[in-house]
Amino acid sequence: MPKAYWIAHVTVTNPDPYKLYAEGATEAFKTFGARVLARGGACEQMEGDGHPRNVVIEFDSMEAALGCYNSPEYQAAKAHREGAGLANIVIVEGAPG
């Protein structure tokens, strides 16, 4: 079964509530066995519109990645992000190994 990845491009506009989002989301990620591969850090925007914060999170399966996003834990955390930042998030299935 291929792994799956959350890929997020984020601009934080209000750090205090965004911090609450990050704390709650981290707990949801732990529950679903996620591994953070990239979070923030240096980046070079090569094409298209970018955001200053880029995140890649690995899950064991598409089912786990979608389950995490739709979980009550993540949705509660996400409520703190509303109005605290702009985010583009996509969940993609990895290539067969």
Per-residue pLDDT at 97 exceeds 80: no
Could you tell me if 77 and 28 are in contact, meaning their C-beta atoms sit under 8 angstroms apart?
Answer: yes
pLDDT digits (tens, 9 = 90+) for 31-50: 999 999 999 889 999 999 89
pTM score of the predicted model: 0.92
Per-residue pLDDT at 86 exceeds 90: yes
Mean pLDDT of 61-85: 97
Choosing among 3.10.620.30, 3.40.50.2300, 3.30.70.100, 3.40.50.300, the CATH entry for 4-42+51-93 is 3.30.70.100
Strand order, beta sheet including 35-39: 35-39, 53-59, 4-12, 85-93
What is the average pLDDT score of the chain?
95
Q: How confident is the model at residue 96 (pLDDT cuts 50, 70, 90)?
A: confident
CB contact burial 53-92 (16+ within 10 A = b; e otherwise): bbbebbbebbebbeebbeeebbeebbebbeebbebeeebe
